[in-house]
Amino acid sequence: MNRFTWADIRRNSPIMPFIGNAIPDRSDPTSYDARRTLFAAVAGLLAAVLALTLVGLAHPPDPDSASAEGATGEQETALAQWEALWANIDRRGEAALQPERSDSSLRSAGDTVFMRYRNLWRDVDETTRRAFQMAALTNDPDAKIARLQPLATAGPAPIRSRALAEIARIRLRQWALDDARANARQALAIPGLEPRFMADAYFILGYAALEARDLDGAETALAEAVARDPGFWDARQTQLLVLSRQLGQPRQATAACINRTRLMIENLSALPTLAQDRTQFRDIADRFAAQSARANPAFSLLSGLGYLWAGDRDKARAALAETGKARGALPRRCEALLVAKAEELLARGF
């Protein structure tokens, strides 16, 4: 009777191929100690990597840290503008942020469709006016564009820009975003165009970018629109929407965070003036109060200011107190700045 040992099986069995030694050969003490040391070192390294990863996850690096030197200048500018904003508010209240209205006839309603200015088109000749009116009365989009096209190619700059802006508006209504952008750019290329006409073209660019989910593009174009016409209600309202979405993004530079919050405060203050209705403060504050549930100190600060300027001090205090609780959504320095401002407002005991 044959007797087999494990050594025989390991040596002879074709169905048990061993790759390396699964069990260390204890007959060689030097090899065993060396492996043990190696395993211990690898385990130590892995533990260190794990610890670093956990620390990194708990404290995400500031996006500015990678390009700290480049960002410093932008941060300083952003901080200076932030301080100037609050110095203005401290001196004159929220009225400091209301846009100057050189034209008393300015009205917000319908400004997207160029009704901002009274009698702007009073001196237009009858033939041109009738052509625009017939285009407005036409409901078929292609027929509308066919009526407007001749007006977009010849004539004075304001007429050409108005026709191009109207064609761009029709394209936006059709969801033809690229065509709308092309028409708006054509309008902007007209030499000697007044800033208030340019504002409409920039607004179309911003709106089209927003629809295309290009938030950076929308932010840039809407800033241009508001800069050229501070009384442009729809541009400001859309800018507020875009900025709030940008501030909700997970990663952004400190300077961008400060600038966006500042612009939102400016818009918050400007909108009720343009709408001639202070309930806008409360509406906007309510909206940001709902959003601050996502733990964003910028929204809590905005909400608090909205309630404060609407006269609801209890809600203002509650919203401002939330600012300190929300951490981690924005760059650390920006967050600290917003929390400090909220605490300063609370300490004043309004």
Contact residue for other proteins among 86, 88, 96, 138 (CB under 8 A): 138
Cβ burial of 317 (10 Å; 0-12, 13-18, 19+) is middle
Q: Which stretch binds other proteins (CB under 8 A): 113-121, 189-197, 288-296, 308-316?
A: 113-121
Report the distance separating Cα 148 and Cα 143, nearest Å.
9
Q: What is the dihedral of CA 18, 19, 22, 27, to 10 degrees?
A: 90
Closer residue to other proteins in complex, CB, 209/253 = 209
Asked if 121 interacts with other proteins (CB under 8 A), we say yes
Asked if 114 interacts with other proteins (CB under 8 A), we say yes
Contact residue for other proteins among 92, 101, 118, 327 (CB under 8 A): 118
Closer residue to other proteins in complex, CB, 135/243 = 135
| Mask for 201-230, x = binds other proteins (CB under 8 A) | ------x-----------------------
**10 Cβ partners below 8 Å, 6+ apart?**
16, 18
Residue 254: name the closest of 60, 56, 72 by CA. 72
Task: Scan for tokens 């533990």, then name that residue.
Answer: 47
Closer residue to other proteins in complex, CB, 162/341 = 162
Look up residue 116 and give its DSSP letter. Answer: S
Q: Report the chain's C-alpha Rg in angstroms.
A: 32
Contact residue for other proteins among 137, 314, 347, 349 (CB under 8 A): 137
Contact residue for other proteins among 41, 45, 134, 189 (CB under 8 A): 134
Q: Which stretch binds other proteins (CB under 8 A): 138-146, 190-198, 223-231, 320-328?
A: 138-146
Copy the structure tokens of residue 349: 């005991």
Supply the DSSP string of 76-94, one letter for each residue.
Answer: HHHHHHHHHHHHHHHHHGG
Asked if 104 interacts with other proteins (CB under 8 A), we say no
Report the 10 Å Cβ neighbour count for 98.
18
Residues 183 and 162: beta-carbon distance below 8 Å: no
Asked if 155 interacts with other proteins (CB under 8 A), we say no
Asked if 101 interacts with other proteins (CB under 8 A), we say no
Q: How far apart are the first and last CA of the chain?
A: 102
Type of residue found at 53? T
Asked if 10 interacts with other proteins (CB under 8 A), we say no
Residues 179 and 146: beta-carbon distance below 8 Å: no
Q: How far is the CB of 231 from other proteins (least distance, A)?
A: 15
Report the distance separating Cα 120 and Cα 102, nearest Å.
14
Closer residue to other proteins in complex, CB, 88/138 = 138
Contact residue for other proteins among 35, 101, 129, 325 (CB under 8 A): 129
Closer residue to other proteins in complex, CB, 68/293 = 293
Closer residue to other proteins in complex, CB, 107/333 = 107
Asked if 130 interacts with other proteins (CB under 8 A), we say yes
Asked if 113 interacts with other proteins (CB under 8 A), we say yes
Please report, as ranges, the residues that interact with other proteins according to CB under 8 A: 107, 109-110, 112-115, 117-122, 124, 128-130, 132-141, 143, 159, 162, 166, 169, 172-175, 207, 234, 238
